Amino acid sequence: MACAVLPDIDSIGFALGIPYGSLFGHRGLTHSLLFALITGVTVTGVFFRNEIRAGSELRSDRSRASPRT
């Protein structure tokens, strides 16, 4: 749920005096595909870091265990 409302954090800009049409204004940078990609990669890295690390260890163990022909 937090990821769904994260793009609307740009509404804080109104209180800070950031113009509506600015890159950091409402519907600016936080509503872009780049922001969605960065958020997705960050959230995946934070919440699945142990699984990602375990997967890379498994791959390295397999490459050492089996001789190349």
Query: Residues 11-63: pLDDT tens digits?
Result: 888 889 999 889 888 889 999 999 999 999 999 999 988 887 777 666 665 66
- Predicted local confidence at residue 68, as pLDDT: 58
- Predicted local confidence at residue 32, as pLDDT: 93
- Predicted local confidence at residue 38, as pLDDT: 96
CB half-sphere exposure, 52, CA atoms < 13 A: 9
38, 7 in Cβ contact below 8 A? no
- Predicted local confidence at residue 2, as pLDDT: 86
Cα(9)–Cα(30) distance, integer angstroms = 8
- Predicted local confidence at residue 24, as pLDDT: 87
